Structure 1
Amino acid sequence: EQVEEIDDDVDIEEVDDDELEEIEEIDEDQEIEDIELDEDEDLEELEEIDEDTEIEDVELDDNESLEEIEDIELDEDQELEEVDLGEDEDLEELDELDEEELKALEEFRNARELAEQFDDFLGEREKKFNAYITIPAGSYTIGTEKSLKFSLALQPFDMPKVYMGKYPVTNALFEIFIEQTGYVTTAERKRVGTVYHSRFKKEGEKVIWSKQAGSSMVKGACWYQPIGPGSTLHGKRNHPVVQISVEDAFAYASWIGRRLPTEAEWEAAARTDMALKYPWGNQFDPKLLNIESSGLADTSAVDDYDHAANGFGMADMLGNVMEWTADTQPPPFATRKAKLFNVAKGGAWNAKDSVTISSRGLFPSDTTANIIGFRCISELFQ
């Protein structure tokens, strides 16, 4: 295993908040033959009706009158005012929609089809981890009061109604994407990934402290061998997938008809409309998340902390892995290259006790590491 130490000047800086809508036609079977003439009346008699005889004098069957004909009622379910467009109605029939609305509708339908196709690939076990939670529309508070250069400022955020993955994307779900598409991740193309090391690990009753804290570049580290050659996903099907770049996350999300959340959307979903500091409340509890002090020194199953899910039912939003968002920021330190850095949220298994929902990390977009995963969001319900 070839390991190259990351230069101190290009270490990934994690900034946490302490730092920084029928018309149905009248049934064809309902015909005028329903108007029954008197049994002793025939057409010849009808023809001899005096011209002055008014139509109103034509007697129909004792039980029927012209007024009743006029009062023929539509079926209870037939209401002219309720013209619903079927979900599968052709776009050609939607003449009143403008070009942008047609495009948005087409994109929505395409995304829904992709999401349904992906769900069809999943077994019952995987479907649990592909669940989406409703995030209600409303005004949310995001950011932090601390005026740090690279922190998101405290501010209100008007959130539309969306649906967000209950869990980060797991190894099992990502593997289906790879099998079905043949996609090659950034780390596989680069043949190297960033591997973080924990200073603290529990092994049974023993506690191990390591001097090799920090991170290093490891050849061969990728999503199916997170810390390099020799490592595997054995026993980790329901762990969050890692060694994934923003590009990889976008590719997966697009393939299933979804997208990455913005930082504001991510925070709103995590903090709820109560503007909480942690998903479970405002008091820190090390037993409710996987961070450095937990002593795992690695990822855990995304449902291990279901008991700490927030009021919306969102789970594993703090600790375990940081999660990519769609937002970018200037780099947190001087760099020769002027490319933007991507924002990751949520802390990871190596985070300090000071981590909160407003904590964030800034990474180059091509970064892949064993502490960063992602979850998806969309306007689609599933």
Structure 2
Amino acid sequence: MFSLKILLGTSLFLIACQQGRRQVQERTAEDTVAMCHGNVPSRFIGHRDTVRHIRGKDSVRMVLIEGGKFMMGSESFDDAQPIHEVEVASFYMDEHEVTNEQFEAFVKATGYVTVAERPLRPEDFPGVDPAMLVPGSAVFTPPKGVHGLQNHLQWWTYVPGANWRHPEGPDSSIRGKEHHPVTQLAYQDAAAYAEWAGKRLPTEAEWEYAAKAGKHTTETYYWGTEKKENGRWLANIYQGEFPIDNTKEDGFETTAPVKSFPPNAWGLYDMEGNVWEWCADLYRPDYYARSAKSNPKGPADSYDPQEPGAIKRVQRGGSFLCNDEYCERYKAGSRGKGEENSPTNNVGFRCVKDI
């Protein structure tokens, strides 16, 4: 995913275009993806002393994920190699992404102000007219046409007033979408909620282990090999010609209410599609070659060769903008990435809790 500094640094998109200060860095579609269930025997047998489900402080139902070993990674993506064996300890995981309603309860209890709502500091955006530095965030804006899929700035716009209360801008609202996943959150916003709820953000190893739900074979998607079952889409992803024609065959143009699609074998919803989910790990494309074999927590520093100066965190699961034409990293074992201070309207999170 691009960084907000890149978006603002290119002079707040269309505004700066008029002033002639835009400089677009070409990227491959695959490297900008973050813009963009099976019959498994019960894993709880033999562990009757552990509660299978609990409710967190935020009232979210959490599922017991019993620890074990699994093969982590994917042969389809360079930064998800080598495939390697990892062992994780048991933990609880939210059964669905944190919703607007739940995040609103957190804000009411704490008075928390998200990154997208805070004033922007001119020193962070050299060369940009300070008058343009107003709180806001990036919003997916379908263009009428595109010149290839290499430049994601064709469909992402910095919108003043866009934040978790107004995901698509000041004229939008979360009213009537209380059960949709909350979006427009930077990494620190998600981490603050998790701390308030007595939880934490998952490591990417925990996230992938839970998403695979006991499957140890290589499959295209976490649930199997097909996108539909009995004619029904199994995840909220993009149908049609990206990014200009969303046919909404799955019933949704943007986010869907949590639990709108079937859960995986361990009772977890939306582990593919709907919104990307922040993980605790810093991102490096070469980390798997030296990852710890037990409870890995990611590298000590962040590095993305496409944006060397940006601090990025891992994102997992894909979003409503993912499809095989552009954003394939909703597929099993793949990794997303996002600059930690750059919220968008297709990124959210879920929490985990230690036992």
Q: Is the 8 A contact 1:321 1:349 kept in 2?
A: yes
Q: Does structure 1 residue 351 correspond to structure 2 residue 297?
A: no
Deviations 1:296-319 (A, max 9, x none): 3210101111xx211101111110
- 2:80 and 2:157 map into 1 onto residues whose CA distance is 26
Q: Following the alignment from structure 2 to structure 1, what is the Cα–Cα distance between the partners of residues 101 and 221?
A: 28
What is the CA–CA distance in structure 1 between the aligned matches of 2:110 and 2:174, rounded to whole Å? Answer: 20
SS at match of 2:159: strand
Task: Check the 8 A contact 1:15/1:151 in 2, yes or no.
Answer: no
- The answer to whether the aligner puts 1:192 opposite 2:156 as a matched pair is no
Match of 2:259 in 1: 303
- Normalised to the residue count of structure 1, the TM-score between the two structures is 0.62
Q: CA deviation at 1:10?
A: 8.2
Paired residues, what number?
Answer: 258
How far does residue 335 in structure 1 lie from its aligned partner after superposition?
3.6
Secondary structure at the residue paired with 1:141? strand
Residue 234 of structure 2: aligned partner: 288
Deviations 1:171-201 (A, max 9, x none): 00000000000000001014121111347xx
Match of 1:211 among 145, 150, 160: 145
- Give, in whole Å, the separation in 2 of the partners of 1:274 and 1:156: 13
* Unpaired stretches in structure 1, ≥5 consecutive residues: 17-111, 120-126, 200-209
Q: Give the 5 Å matches for 1:1-382.
A: 4-5=13-14, 8-9=24-25, 13-14=32-33, 118-119=57-58, 127=59, 130-146=60-76, 148=78, 150-189=79-118, 190=120, 191-198=135-142, 210-211=144-145, 214-275=155-216, 276-285=219-228, 287-293=233-239, 295=248, 296-305=252-261, 308-330=262-284, 331-335=303-307, 337=309, 339-353=310-324, 354=328, 355-380=330-355
Q: Which runs of 5+ in 2 are unaligned?
A: 1-10, 15-21, 36-53, 121-134, 147-153, 240-246, 285-302
Q: Secondary structure at the match of 2:33?
A: strand
Partners in 2 of 1:357 and 1:198 — Cα distance?
27
Deviations 1:230-274 (A, max 9, x none): 100021100000000110010000011100001111000001121
Higher relative contact order (CA 8 A, sep 6+): 2
C-alpha RMSD of the superposition: 2.6
**1:257 is matched by which residue type in structure 2?**
G
- Over residues 9-67 of structure 1, what are the superposed CA-to-partner deviations in whole Å (9 max), with x where a residue is unaligned? 28772279xxxxxxxxxxxxxxxxxxxxxxxxxxxxxxxxxxxxxxxxxxxxxxxxxxx
Mark the structure with the bigger radius of gyration: 1
**Greater share of residues in helix:** 1
Corresponding letter in the other structure for 1:280? W
Give the direction of change, closer, same or farther, for the CA distance of 1:10–1:188 in structure 2 (3 Å limit): farther
Say whether the 8 Å CA contact 1:258–1:378 is kept in structure 2.
yes
Report the AA paired with residue 25 of structure 2: D
Distance 1:289 1:336 in 2: 33
User: 1:277 deviation in Å?
Assistant: 4.0
Letter in 2 for 1:311: A
1:331-382, Cα deviation, whole Å (9 max, x unpaired): 4344462x431111111001014431323222111010001000001114xx
Q: Give the alignment's TM-score, normalised by structure 2.
A: 0.67
Deviation for aligned residue 1:163: 0.5
Give the aligned partner of residue 128 of structure 2. none
Structure 1's 322 and 147: CA in aligned 2 closer, same or farther, altered over 3 A?
Answer: closer
Q: Distance in 2 between matches of 1:141 and 1:151?
A: 11
| Change over 3 Å in CA distance of 1:142–1:231 after alignment to 2 | same
Is 2:34–2:318's contact at 8 Å kept on the other side of the alignment?
no
Q: Is the 8 A contact 2:280 2:313 kept in 1?
A: yes
Distance 1:15 1:155 in 2: 24
| Partner SS state of residue 9, structure 1 | coil
